[in-house]
Chain A
Amino acid sequence: MKNYLKIIFLIFIFIHNGLTNAESILIQNVTIFDGKTNNPYVGNVLIEDNKISRVSSSNMRGDKVIDATGKILTPGIIATDTDIGIVEIGALSVTRDDSSDLYQIGFSIYDAFNPNSVLVPWNRSNGITSAMTLPQNTDSPIGGLGSFFVLDSNLQVSGIKDNVMIGRVGGSGSKSRSETFAIIEDLLEFASSLNLKDMESYKDIADLIDDSPIAESMDLHPRDIKALYNLVNDDLPLIISANRASDLLKLIDLKLKYDLNLIIMGAQEAGLVADKIAKNNIPLIINPINNIPESFDELAANIELAAYLEKQGITLMFNAPRSHNFHLIRQGAGVAVANGMSYAGALRALTSTPVEVFNLGDRGEIVAGKVADLIIWDADPLEPSSMPEKVFINGKDIDLTSRMTRLTDRYIKNKDKPSIYRN
C-alpha cells in the first residue's frame, strides 16, 4: 500500500513539474549573434519552458528580466569531437570508458556516459552546452559509435544514442594505407549486401558473419554488423580522421561509390583538394589553431586553412584537444578569424553547423522555437579571455560553479583558516 502511495505521489510530482510553466526569462537589449546569419543585431530574447519563444527588437514581458545591454548572446557551443563523460583523467585507465577489447564497428560508448563528471560543469562554464562524445578508434578502420549528450548534469541522460560512426585512414606505422582502404571497401561491400530481414535474428547475423571472409577474419559480432547496416542504410554520419591530400580524394571516391554521409576530421591537407571537397559537399572538422606538420600526412598544415576552406565554400566545424581542453575551441575559432575567416562563419562552425551536419534537433540557433541553449558572454566570445556570464540549457539558468571555481575560492578567500576548513 505504501508503495502505491509513493508511486501516486511521484506521478503527481511528475505531472506538477511537467505542466507548471517555469517562469519565463527575458534577455533584454542584448547583441545577438544568432549562430546562422552574418550580422549581429540588438534585440530581446524570450525563453519560455525550454524553448526560445520569441526573438524581437520590440518590447516584451518576462517573469524574470535580465538586462544584457552591451553583452553578447550566442547559442551554446556544440562540441563535435570530445570524450566528455567517458574519460575523467587521460592517463588513468580506470577512468577511461572509451575503448573495447571485443567490439569494433558497433562499439557504443552511450551507456558509459557519466553526467557527474567534472568535465560537464567545466565545459559548461566555458560555454559548451552539448557535445558529441566519441570513442577511441577501434581496430577496424571504420567503426566505433559516438553519441550526442546535453551537458545538463542530469543523471537521466538526454541525448542521441549512437548517432555517428568514426573511422580513420592514414600512415599507421604497421600496415599500408592501401590495406586500410581495401578493408573499408570490403566492409562496405558486405554492408551493401545486407538487408533488413537479415538483421532480425541474432542467429541469422551470426551465420552471415561465418559466410563473409572479411567479417569472419575481423572477428566481427552481430552488434558490429548491425552498425554496418545502419551506416549504409540509415545515412549514419561517418567521421573519418584523415589528413593527406591523396587520402582525402580516395575517401571522396568511397563516399560516391557507397553513398556515404561522410565528414572528414583533421583534414590538414584539405587546402590542396578544396575544389573536390566543396564540389562533393563534404563537411570538415578541423582544428584551426593546429598548424604543426605533426606527421608526413599533415605537411600542408597551415594557420590560414580555415579561412581558405571557407572561401571555397566548404562547410566547417572545429575541434580542439579532447574534453579537458575543449574550451580551447574558442581560442582556435578566434585564431581562425585573426587569420582571415569570417566571424559569423567561425561562430556557425561552433553552433548551427554541427546541428545541420549531425541532425542534432532544434538547437544551435537563436530563433523562435529552438531549444534555449544560450550563452551571455562578458565580452567577445572568440577572445579566449572572455567567459560566459550566464549559461542556459533547455531554458534553465545554470549555476556556473565548477570544481575549478571552488578550488580557486579555497585558495584566495578565508585565508585565516586552514584550507581544509574553507568552503
Chain B
Amino acid sequence: MTKLIKYSFLIFACFIEANPFESTYEPLPSENILIRNANIYDGEGNEFKETDLLIQNRKIMALGKDLPVSDDFLIIDASNKWVTPGIIDIHSHMGVYPAPGVSTSADGNEATSPVTADVWAEHSIWVQDPQYALALKGGITAFHILPGSANLIGGRGVTVKNLQRNTINSMKFPDAPHSLKMACGENPKRVYGNRQQAPSTRMGNAAGYRKSWIQAKAYLNRLDEYEAKSDEAKEIGYAPQRDFEMETLAGVLRGEILVHNHCYRAEEMATMINIAKEFDYKITAFHHGVEAYKIADLLAENNICGALWADWWGFKHEAYDMVQANIAIVDQALGGKGCAIVHSDDAIGIQHLNQEASKALAAGLRAGFDITKARAMNWITSNPAKAAGIYDQTGSLKVGKNADVVIWSKNPFSVYAIVEKVFIDGATAYDRSTNFQPASDFDVGIISPEKNRIEE
C-alpha cells in the first residue's frame, strides 16, 4: 500500500508541489502499557485466553503469557475482560450527514449530476459532529466516510481516525488511500429519473458508468504519454489540463483509489464486475449487498469483499431478499475464502458493530457453518482495514501495528459487553472508569449552559 501511496503522490507531483490535503494527524499523548491477563481476539482469527498485550511506543509490541515489563509501564489488569483491535467501520456518513440531521449540514450527496467523481467527501465533513464520540464508546477507532448513493459515481471517500480535531487534515488516517463511491440500482435511477434525465433505468445506470470509464481511459492515455516523456520534452510540452473528475477515475484505473460500490442485487453486482473487467479496474467491496449470498462464490473468485448488514432490510425493493446468514455465506464462499465485512451506514449501528457481528455469526451457525467468534471478529477489524487500505497499519493486534485497542467488560459478542477503554495509537481516547471522553463543540452548553450535552 505504501508503494501505491508513493505512486499516487507522483501523479500529484506532476501538477502541484506538495499535497495540501495530506494527513496532519498527530496522536494523543501516550504511555507504554501492559494489558495483563486479558482474553483476546486478535483480528487475525485467533483467540487467546488470559494473555498479556504489550503496547510500546504506540505500537503492538508483544502478545503472550506473563510478559515482563519495566517499572515505567502502565499496567492495566484485564482479568475476565476481553481485548480486541479497534473496531473499523467501512461505511459511515458521520460528518457528511451529521447530527442533528438538518438540511444545512446534509452534505453527503452532490445530487446535481449522476457522475461527480470530482467531489471529495472530506470537503463536506463537519468536524463537530457529536456522533464521533458516541461511536468511540462503541470501540470505533477508524472509519471510512463515503459520499451518499444518489449518483452513479459519487466522489471520493476518506478514512479518518476517530479522534475529533478542528481540521479534516488532522483527522485523516495517514497514508490511507482514497476510495471511489459508486452506486447501483434504485437510488441513482430514482434521483435522476424523477428529473426526466439519465439514468432513469438500470440499463441507463450501466451506460453511465461505462461512458465515464471511456473518458477516464482516454485521459489516462494522455497522462501516460506525457509522463513517459523525457524531462526536456516535458518542459517544452504541455501537461494535460487538470480535471478533477478524470484524476479520480484515473486513480482507480491505476489502482491507487479503491472502489466501494453500493449495490444490492446479485445480477447488478455481477454486471458491475463485468464493467470492472471491461475497463480493467478492481472493485474492493460491494456495500449493502442484500443479495450477496446469491453470488458469494463469484465475489470470492474476484477477491471482492461484501460489506453488509446483519439483518437490515425491506426499506426498498432491492433490499427485500434479506437473509440473516448473508454475511456468513459470503465469508464461507469457496471454502472460507470469502471476505465479509459488517458495516453500519448508520450512526447508531456504528456504536454496536460487535452486536451486528454477533447476530451475523449466530445466523451463520444456525445455517450450519462452522465459524469461530475469533473469525467473526475479523468482519469488524481486519477485513474492513483491508478494504480501507490501512491493514498494514491497523485492524489486528499483529506485532508492529498501531496500538488501536479496545478493552471490553465482557465477551464483545454479548449485548451486555460495554467498552471500558479505547486506545488509538497507544493513547487513551476513552476511559469509562475515569469518565475521560471527548465532547464536540456542539455538545458544549447546548441544553443548559453549565453542562455538556451528555453528562453521565
- The 0/1 profile, CB within 8 Å of B marked 1, for residues 91-102 of chain A is 110000000000
Interface positions of A from 376 to 423, Cβ below 8 Å from B: 382-387, 404, 407-408, 411-412, 419
A334-B415, A337-B416 given; A324·B315 CB < 8 A: yes
Residue of A91, A298, A331 near B315 (CB, 8 A) is: A91
Interface positions of A from 78 to 136, Cβ below 8 Å from B: 89-92, 119
* Residue among B311, B324, B415 with max Cβ neighbours from chain A (10 Å): B415
- The 0/1 profile, CB within 8 Å of B marked 1, for residues 308-338 of chain A is 0000000000000001110110010011011
Asked whether B313 lies within 8 Å of A324 as measured between CB atoms, the reply is yes
Please list the residues of chain B having a beta carbon within 8 angstroms of any beta carbon in chain A. 99-102, 130-131, 134, 137, 186, 293-294, 296, 311-317, 320-325, 329, 347-348, 351-352, 355, 358-359, 361-362, 366-368, 413-418, 446-447, 453-454, 456
Residue A295 at the chain B interface, CB threshold 8 Å: yes
Asked whether A300 lies within 8 Å of B447 as measured between CB atoms, the reply is yes
B417 vs chain A, min Cβ distance (A): 7
B59 vs chain A, min Cβ distance (A): 32
Asked whether B313 lies within 8 Å of A335 as measured between CB atoms, the reply is no
23 A–B contacts from the bound complex (CB under 8 Å): A89-B316, A89-B317, A91-B317, A289-B348, A292-B131, A295-B101, A299-B100, A299-B446, A299-B447, A300-B453, A325-B312, A331-B415, A334-B355, A335-B415, A338-B416, A339-B418, A382-B415, A384-B359, A385-B413, A411-B294, A411-B296, A411-B329, A412-B325
* A419 CA / B415 CA spacing, docked (Å): 36
A295-B100, A338-B415, A385-B413 given; A404·B324 CB < 8 A: yes
- Chain B residues with Cβ below 8 Å from A91 are 186, 315-317
Asked whether A387 lies within 8 Å of B293 as measured between CB atoms, the reply is no
B223 vs chain A, min Cβ distance (A): 41
Query: From B312, which residue of chain A is reached at the shortest CB distance?
Result: A325
- The 0/1 profile, CB within 8 Å of B marked 1, for residues 293-313 of chain A is 111101110111000000000
- Chain B residues with Cβ below 8 Å from A300 are 447, 453-454
B450 vs chain A, min Cβ distance (A): 14
Asked whether A408 lies within 8 Å of B367 as measured between CB atoms, the reply is yes
A296-B100, A411-B329, A412-B325 given; A304·B456 CB < 8 A: yes
Residue A53 at the chain B interface, CB threshold 8 Å: no
Instruction: Report how many residues on chain A are interfacial, defined by Cβ distance under 8 Å.
Output: 43
* A14 CA / B358 CA spacing, docked (Å): 47
* A337 CA / B293 CA spacing, docked (Å): 33
Residue A291 at the chain B interface, CB threshold 8 Å: yes
8 tightest A-B contacts by CB? A324-B314, A334-B415, A385-B362, A91-B316, A90-B315, A408-B323, A385-B358, A338-B416
- Chain A residues with Cβ below 8 Å from B131 are 292
* A303 CA / B437 CA spacing, docked (Å): 15
Residue A290 at the chain B interface, CB threshold 8 Å: yes
A293-B99, A407-B321 given; A89·B329 CB < 8 A: no
Asked whether A293 lies within 8 Å of B453 as measured between CB atoms, the reply is yes
- Chain B residues with Cβ below 8 Å from A419 are 294
- Chain A residues with Cβ below 8 Å from B361 are 385
Asked whether B454 lies within 8 Å of A408 as measured between CB atoms, the reply is no
Query: From B369, which residue of chain A is reached at the shortest CB distance?
Result: A412
Given contacts A272-B447, A294-B99, A302-B456, 14 further A-B contacts (CB under 8 A): A91-B317, A291-B134, A292-B134, A293-B99, A295-B102, A298-B100, A324-B314, A337-B416, A383-B414, A383-B415, A385-B362, A411-B293, A411-B329, A419-B294
B8 vs chain A, min Cβ distance (A): 35
* A143 CA / B223 CA spacing, docked (Å): 63
Asked whether A334 lies within 8 Å of B323 as measured between CB atoms, the reply is no
* A338 CA / B130 CA spacing, docked (Å): 22
- The 0/1 profile, CB within 8 Å of B marked 1, for residues 333-357 of chain A is 0110111000000000000000000
Query: From A298, which residue of chain B is reached at the shortest CB distance?
Result: B100
* A335 CA / B101 CA spacing, docked (Å): 23
Asked whether B313 lies within 8 Å of A331 as measured between CB atoms, the reply is no
Asked whether B317 lies within 8 Å of A411 as measured between CB atoms, the reply is no
Residue of B323, B347, B362, B447 near A411 (CB, 8 A) is: B323
Asked whether A292 lies within 8 Å of B323 as measured between CB atoms, the reply is no
Residue of A89, A384, A404 near B415 (CB, 8 A) is: A384
* A328 CA / B351 CA spacing, docked (Å): 14
